[in-house]
Amino acid sequence: MANPSEKLALRRRPRRLRASEGIRRLIEEHVLTVHDLIAPIFCKEAGLREEIESMPGVFRHNPEDACRFALELYERGICAIALFPCIPEGKKNSHGTAALDPNGLVPWMVQEIKGRAPGLLVIADVALDPYTNHGHDGLWNPETGEIENDATVHLLCEMARILGEAGVDFVAPSDMMDGRIGAIRASLDDANLERVGVLAYAAKFASAFYGPFRDAIGSRRGKGYLDKRTYQLNPANLREGLLEAQMDEEEGADILMVKPAGPYLDVISKVRARTFLPLAAYQVSGEYAQIVAAARNGWLDLEAAYRESLVAIKRAGADMIFTYFAPLFVGYTV
Ligand code: PBG
């Protein structure tokens, strides 16, 4: 039996670098700051704010409250927000025409926020799902059951132009149609909107973790989850995600995004290694929901778990993170 008091002859004792708060701070490799975070904001046309059942602590706000919420986050140091509308069912149709209303909810919100806080960066999604009655991001052909790529891209170009004219800083195509980044870039430039950037949802996977978001914008259809596998990526595929990122870069994206974030850290890290563009990651609704739900049950420490989830995304290589924890990070409680 070894003598328990006998010293091991170790050349290295890595624990020396973990022994005190001081040394732990000095050797820290990644720090999460408020400047890394983008806050998604859900808005609706009117009425009192509603909490999203599957995303406790996250609300749908009427336009005035949504603006105030955005300004409050800005005052606390958040430099960018992303707007997501919940459109009344009565205004949805199969073509998502409400997406092209220059006086619609999102253009109005963009104008209002940029008017009141020009320094706050405003990002708006480009995709049809908040506006279609079938919940798909593109035009759905009921005869073939297909999502029509090129016809959708034409609409997305128009949508991006309307958002650009309203004053948005970045449009964020989240639809995964082929060729939309190049087409949107060209259409913005044609409209003298060179200043508007394109943040491409480059590697967006067909994830089960989007469920709560679909509750939030009212695009959930039935019990199961809407099948977007003809345009979003197979969660099993890494190379395909890298190729999509490369194509979006070639088509002129200013920023690339990987989504979801936590379950796809390998994709983040590999895209990071292959591009010089800034890289965003979207910690999606289901990632938020699982941490919050476990914390509410007393099974996880909310503060520690959410911070760990975010620093891991940064460590993987993301420069910026879309996260529903942004308000909590800046101490905003509703
Ligand atoms: C839709 C869109 C989705 C999200 C952002 N934009 C959902 C989807 O593709 O169904 C998901 C965000 C989240 O889950 O937090 N174009």
248: Cβ below 6 Å to ligand 1?
A: no
User: Which helix (H) or strand (E) segment is 112 a member of?
Assistant: helix 105-116
Q: Which residues contact 234 (CB under 8 A, 6 or more apart)?
A: 205, 206, 240
Whether the link from the prior residue into 260 is cis, omega within 30° of 0, is: yes
Question: Does the residue 253 lie in any domain?
Answer: yes
Q: For ligand 1, is residue 129 a contact (CB within 6 Å)?
A: yes
- Distance between Cα 11 and ligand 1 center (Å): 51
Task: List the residue whose alpha carbon is closest to atom 8 of ligand 1.
Answer: 210
284 lines ligand 1 (CB under 6 A): yes
Q: Print the SS3 string covering 28-87.
A: CCCCCCHHHEEEEEEEECCCCCEECCCCCCCEEECHHHHHHHHHHHHHCCCCEEEEEEEC
The answer to whether residue 59 is domain-embedded is yes
The C-alpha atoms of residue 142 and residue 261 are separated, in whole angstroms, by 33
Q: Is residue 237 part of a domain?
A: yes
174 in contact with ligand 1, CB cutoff 6 A? yes
Residues 269 and 263: beta-carbon distance below 8 Å: no
Residue 224 resides in a domain: yes
pLDDT for the residue numbered 181: 98
Q: Is 204 a catalytic residue?
A: yes
Domain of residue 179, CATH code: 3.20.20.70
Ligand 1 atom nearest to 226, measured from its CA: 10
Residue 15 falls inside a structural domain: no
User: C-alpha angle 90/94/95, rounded to 5°?
Assistant: 105
Q: Distance between CA 183 and CA 180 in Å, rounded?
A: 5
Question: What's the gap in Å between 112 CA and the centre of ligand 1?
Answer: 24
Burial degree of 325 (CB within 10 A; 0-12, 13-18, 19+): buried
pLDDT on residue 225: 66
Nearest-atom number in ligand 1 for the CA of 324 is 15
Give CA 53 to chain center in angstroms.
19
Task: Determine contact, residues 38/82, Cβ cutoff 8 Å.
Answer: yes
Provide the pLDDT for residue 277.
98
Exposure of 222 by Cβ count < 10 A (0-12 exposed, 13-18 middle, 19+ buried)? exposed
C-alpha to C-alpha distances, 249 to 117, 207, 242, 278, nearest whole angstrom: 30, 23, 11, 11
Residue from 92, 204, 228, 270 carrying the catalytic annotation = 204
Each residue's pLDDT tens digit in the chain (334 positions)? 678 889 999 999 999 999 999 999 999 999 999 999 999 999 999 999 999 999 999 999 999 999 999 999 999 999 999 999 999 999 999 999 999 999 999 999 999 999 999 999 999 999 999 999 999 999 999 899 899 999 999 999 999 999 999 999 999 999 999 999 999 999 999 999 999 999 999 999 999 999 999 988 887 766 556 899 999 999 999 999 999 999 999 999 999 999 999 999 999 999 999 999 999 999 999 999 999 999 999 999 999 999 999 999 999 999 999 999 999 999 998 7
Q: Parallel, antiparallel, or unpaired for β 197-204 and 37-44?
A: unpaired
Ligand 1 centre to CA of 43 (Å) is: 15
User: Is position 2 within any domain?
Assistant: no
Separation of alpha carbons 23 and 20, rounded Å: 6
Find the 233 Cα to ligand 1 centroid distance in Å.
Answer: 13
- Residue entry with tokens 């508007």: 196
Beta-strand relationship, 37-44 and 59-61? parallel
- Domain span including residue 308: 31-329
Residue 285 CA, closest ligand 1 atom number: 15
Q: Strand, helix or coil at 186?
A: helix
pLDDT at 220: 75
Q: Answer whether residue 8 is part of any domain.
A: no
Domains identified in the chain, total number:
1
Q: Would you state the pLDDT for residue 223? A: 55
Distance from the alpha carbon of residue 315 to the mean position of ligand 1, in angstroms = 23
In a domain, 3, yes or no: no
